Amino acid sequence: MSQNTLPYKIVLSALLLLVVGCSSDAATSPEPWVYVQPEQLDDGWETASLAEVGIDEAPLARLMNRVRADRDNTVHSILIVAGGRLVFEEYFAGRTHPTYGERAITYDRETLHCLSSVTKSVTATMLGLAIAEGFIATEDEPIFDFLPDYADLNTGQKGDITLEHLVTMSAGLEWDEQSYPIGDMRNDITAWFRYSGDLVRFVLERPVVADPGTAFVYNGGITNVLGQIIGRATGERLDQFSARLFAPLGITQYTWYFLRPDFVYASGDISLRPRDMAKLGQLYLQGGVWEGERLLPAEWVAASATPAFTLQNPWYGHVGYSYGWWPKSLQYGAGAYAASGWGDQVILVMPAYDMVVVFTGGGYWRAPSITSHAMMIEYILPAVR
């Protein structure tokens, strides 16, 4: 063997590995993304191209190529409605919500997606609908007017708690679902979720620690009390009553989650298709009117866009809390607000841009490698001319 043979073989092997490696990368790397206008279906949406509504495709191409190349991304869908027309619609593979076992799944436009706490915004919307249809006179009504079987708890300042305090999470009851992670029994929503007794009583037995209406405390328990009250006031369980809003919107596929056979989980885990999420956002963008029919009071929509409370520690561009919705920072234009849920589920309403943007995601147990907020600030908003 000559002295040059071994180095030659090493160099040749290295070159072969490099070629094979490059070929492998080329085989596994996604092709550059190409924009396709959303398909026109008989589902109530008119579609259009990005160019028709003046949105620059280039920033969205960069976003899509980034998401598709990132094996750790948890994005499940991105939809954009501009000028009342669906102009962008993309879906990805991921895993189902923990409530449904975290199974591998490839999402598409027909897939129902579990929306976590976006459900709170839907439940708040149902209160607005109950008021619009005359089942409830006003959000100022005391909650115990609807709960005579809990009269023994109607003592002291608890008698001052109104429906508005429930929908703005300012009932003043002791509650903590922020200090400990989901699954920890010290987290009040986890303890409530696993409680085998009366779920309404569990919440209303809590001591009053602030004057009702004076302080925002994130509290899924009181959203569930609100859901029960809506059912009592309307004579229809929350899921049944919701059909009164969903039917005019053409929303036919949805599921509510049940904690007990007759107890709807009003604060979490409704499942909708992303196109139908966008319809709810568009209804709010249009001031509560859909196809010429008023479904929600204009005052209710305005209150949903206006902070009832300002957050001391803004997050993901959320700067306040309103009637079940999160008003957004001025980065999103004046008057923007969103429904938001664990895992990065979002319905974003942006009046300044005449736009609705929807995200679904699977960032349940770890922070997403790119959040909906980052996608908006870095790519989507720069695309709007």
The CATH code of the domain that includes 62 is 3.40.710.10
Task: Please report whether residue 39 resides in a domain.
Answer: yes
Name the domain count of the chain: 1
What one-letter code names the amino acid at 311?
A: L
Task: Please report whether residue 187 resides in a domain.
Answer: no
Please give the Cα distance from 354 to 334 (Å, whole number).
11
User: Are 330 and 318 contacting, i.e. CB atoms less than 8 angstroms apart?
Assistant: no
CB neighbour list of residue 237: distance below 8 Å, 6 or more residues apart = 231, 262, 264
Report pLDDT for 121: 98
Q: pTM to 2 decimals?
A: 0.91
Q: Does residue 369 register a pLDDT over 50?
A: yes
Task: Please report whether residue 222 resides in a domain.
Answer: no
- Structure tokens given for 74: 């948890």
Report pLDDT for 29: 61
Cα 349–242–86 angle (5° rounding)? 35
Q: Decide which of 277 and 6 is more confident.
A: 277
Task: Please report whether residue 225 resides in a domain.
Answer: no
Q: If pLDDT is split at 50, 70 and 90, which confidence band does 323 have?
A: very high
DSSP state of 143: G
Q: Decide which of 24 and 360 is more confident.
A: 360
Report pLDDT for 95: 96
Task: Please report whether residue 268 resides in a domain.
Answer: no
User: Are 190 and 183 contacting, i.e. CB atoms less than 8 angstroms apart?
Assistant: yes
* 201-257 tens-digit pLDDT: 999 999 999 999 999 999 999 999 999 999 999 999 999 999 999 999 999 999 999
- Token look-up 């799944």 returns 105
Task: Please report whether residue 324 resides in a domain.
Answer: yes
Task: Please report whether residue 48 resides in a domain.
Answer: yes
* 128-181 tens-digit pLDDT: 999 999 999 999 999 999 999 999 999 999 999 999 999 999 999 999 999 999
Residue 81 belongs to what domain range?
Answer: 33-116+274-385
Q: CA 108, 360, 281, 109: dihedral to nearest 10 degrees?
A: 0
Report pLDDT for 28: 55
262: exposed, middle or buried (C-beta count within 10 Å: 0-12, 13-18, 19+)? exposed
| Long-range CB pairs of 251-260, under 8 A, 24+ apart, other chains included | 251/276, 251/279, 251/280, 253/110, 253/112, 254/112, 255/112, 256/119, 257/99, 257/114, 259/193, 259/199, 260/199
Radius of gyration of the chain (CA): 24
| Rounded mean pLDDT, 330-350 | 97
Task: Please report whether residue 100 resides in a domain.
Answer: yes
